[in-house]
Amino acid sequence: MRRYLLLIWVCLGLLLGLACHLAGLPRAAAWAWSAAALPVALHVGIGMARTLLGGRIGVDVVALAAILGAVALGEAAAAAVIGLMVAGGEALEAWAEARATASLTALMARAPRRAARLEGEAVAEIGVEAIRPGDLLLVRPGETVPADGVLEEDAALLDESALTGEALPVAFARGDALRSGGVNQGAAFRLRARSAAGASTYAAIVRLAEQAAAERAPMARLADRWAVGFIAFTALLAGGAWIVTGDPVRALAVLVVATPCPLILAAPVALVAGIGRAARRGIVVKGGGALERLARIRTVLFDKTGTLTPGRPRLAAVDADPALGRDAALRLAATLAQGSTHPVSAALVAAAQARGIALPAPDSVAEVAGGGVTGTVEGKALLLGAEGFLRSAGIEPENGFGVAAQVAAAAGSVAWLAVEGRPAAAFVMADGLRQEAPRAVRRLRALGVARLVLVTGDRAAAASPIARALRLDAVLAEQAPADKIAAVRAESEAAPTAMVGDGVNDAPALAAADVGIAMGAHGTAAAAEAGDVVLLVDRVDRVPEAIAIARRARRVAFRAIALGMGLSGVAMGFAAAGHLPPLAGALVQEGIDVFAILFALTALRPGADEAVPAALPAEAGLAERHAEHAGLRRLAEELRAGAEAIGPTPAARPALEAVERRLRAELLPHQQEEERALYPAAAARLGGVDPMAPLVRMHAEMEGLAERVARLLVLAETDWPGAAPELRRTLFALEALLRLHLAAEEEMLAGMGAEAA
């Protein structure tokens, strides 16, 4: 606010002095202009003293000398114009930095404030500061665990994503240690506190975030990097002009045109322009300093859950008893899951609904916190839950059953279904890769980011497939918040480092990094406050876009400075030669400033490395084709199931004929429509020579395989033993190619939808 008031004061003084001058009152005009300029000189002097105490020297010393010299030599008008330049530049810089905040109040707001303590048969509501080791606490559904302690119930289910980044709730048994910060996802449970709330895990995370933010050194102004050399050059030129001519006004003229307003103004204007461009893309950058640091990033560390993955469990695969079948197993499990609020249950229901499976109402549903669900569906007794839940009911998975599920479980979790006391199906749950993540990683590589690392609190088995799919350089799994800070600092020693995350557990690392980038659309307020950059759009591909915008703004700032100071250098030469008196020099310098500012504003335009394919028009049908991909993925599952069902007898032929009809009714029309409208529109956006050729070639291969399936089925009518082996190979090949094609197409067209524009 002080800087804005100073600017207003200078403007009023200039106008008053001009009015006095026009009224024929030169003395009053001089007093008004001097009164306008001197407070600016005082302000600059105080700032210069602070800079010197900090061990640096700034270019403001030239402006201070010019103002004081102009007043002393009777060039008050020139002094006022210089004051306007300085005050205006500082006001603009203050506006840019006003967007910054180092407050972590949101993180504090998430911390639990109340707790329920059991005192005999009574429940007392207390403040968390009153918790003492040994207190017996009651944690109700939806409440946050207020302190570290030991579980005193048979089971509990906690959402620990704020602590570990793990998307799936974690089950605990009696005697397990629980950490504060987890959210109760099941029934109420009792907890024996082991420590006071101030010594809890969550409180430690808050302190780590505050400490990491406090230890980050503030960034010096861009202008100060050339301060010593520029000041020395100006002093030599002004002093030389004075010595040679004996005229101090000649030296003043040099100081006036040397006033480094292009240094003071151009950089903040370009950075503010970059901040504005970023904001229009849903990227909030907290100040010019953050933008300037972002432009120098060479290493990026990613959290996993909620950053590279959506953070929500989904059904990845189904392994069912052939006698029951996959769809029938999913129907039973999803029907029972309707009576549960567990995230895995919600994923099963969503998967069944996506496949168009009608779900009847279950009977006698009972949910066991941390275990699973029991109930009756159409007269059949069902159990749905973790493997331990089935074992506790005396049900053992049969030898050989669920091998594929157990292999896949290395990167996810498995929900088991038992029907009438026998295991019937296994549902593999996973937190899939964000669709735009591969493109984001490739673009970071293209921008020159040399090292990409996955840093997560999740298990190595769950993190490694994500890193492998994205071709990241390293994986650091099972990282506590303190470990993440250590990883960030280790990377920062080698190169400027950014950390991308969304959870409370990421907040300390975000604060410790050179630039913290928070996924703010669905992330926690703690991450948003600790980060220097907040992505309001829930897309990780905004990370490379933010870096590209920052780099262009920084380049424009440097070029504006170079042009402005180059012109100032020419003007200094004319002033030293006596061709520019102080007032004229001040006006010339003002013109140079305007030019530098206008050039700096070109940062509002996107650069070549910011190019993003334009969104496809609605008539291209991208949304419709992608919506059909869910059905095509189910078709791929049927291809695999059909291939697995082929045996020595033609019993599977009717089902295979149904699959072949679906190929003709769904797959081939889908591909024809893509080649008619979608691919030509996408090719026009992507540019180059026939960029969609690989996808079209896949279409041709799939059409050939579909035709081969049809011919083999005809041959199978008379020669099943001869046709069956080749039919099995063809179905497996078609399934693999179809899955690969869907993934490749979605990745190639990522970012062309209206939601990404």
DSSP classification of residue 665: I
Residue 106: exposure state from Cβ atoms within 10 A (0-12, 13-18, ≥19): middle
- Residues 323-331 have a mean pLDDT of 88
DSSP strand pairing (314-320 vs 515-519): unpaired
Quote the CATH superfamily of domain 314-398+408-425: Calcium-transporting ATPase, cytoplasmic domain N (3.40.1110.10)
pLDDT score for 756: 53
Read off the pLDDT of residues 109-136 as tens digits, 9 standing for 90 and up: 556 778 889 888 788 888 887 888 889 9
Whether pLDDT at 666 is above 90? yes
Whether pLDDT at 398 is above 70? no
Domain covering 289-310+434-544 assigned CATH 3.40.50.1000 in the classification: yes
The candidate with the shortest Cα–Cα distance to 69, out of 232, 221, 262, 234, is 234
Indicate the helix (H) or strand (E) that contains 3.
helix 2-22
Domain covering 110-213 assigned CATH 2.70.150.10 in the classification: yes
How far does Cα 403 stand from its chain's mean position?
A: 36
Helix (H, G, I), strand (E, B) or coil at 688: coil
Read off the pLDDT of residues 556-581 as tens digits, 9 standing for 90 and up: 888 888 888 788 888 888 888 888 88
Question: Rounded CA gap, 9 and 706, in Å?
Answer: 80
pLDDT band at 218 (very low <50, low <70, confident <90, very high): very low
Domain boundary assignment for the chain: 2-101+217-260+562-595, 110-213, 289-310+434-544, 314-398+408-425, 618-756
Whether pLDDT at 531 is above 50? yes
- Residues 61-87 have a mean pLDDT of 80
Domains 110-213 and 289-310+434-544 share a fold: no
- Those residues with Cβ within 8 angstroms of residue 645's Cβ, 6 or more apart along the chain or in another chain: 322, 651, 652, 655, 656
Q: Are 359 and 334 in contact (CB under 8 A)?
A: yes
More confident residue, 284 or 407: 284
Q: Is residue 303 annotated as a catalytic residue, yes or no?
A: yes
- Those residues with Cβ within 8 angstroms of residue 718's Cβ, 6 or more apart along the chain or in another chain: none
Active-site residue (options: 159, 303, 327, 514): 303
Whether pLDDT at 148 is above 90? no
- How many Å is the Cα radius of gyration of the chain? 34
Q: Are 36 and 17 in contact (CB under 8 A)?
A: yes
Question: Rounded CA gap, 682 and 656, in Å?
Answer: 35
Read off the pLDDT of residues 580-592 as tens digits, 9 standing for 90 and up: 888 787 778 777 8
Whether pLDDT at 523 is above 90? no
Residue 651: exposure state from Cβ atoms within 10 A (0-12, 13-18, ≥19): exposed
CA distances to 639, 675, 701 from 680, in Å = 29, 7, 20
Whether pLDDT at 457 is above 60? yes
Whether pLDDT at 403 is above 70? no
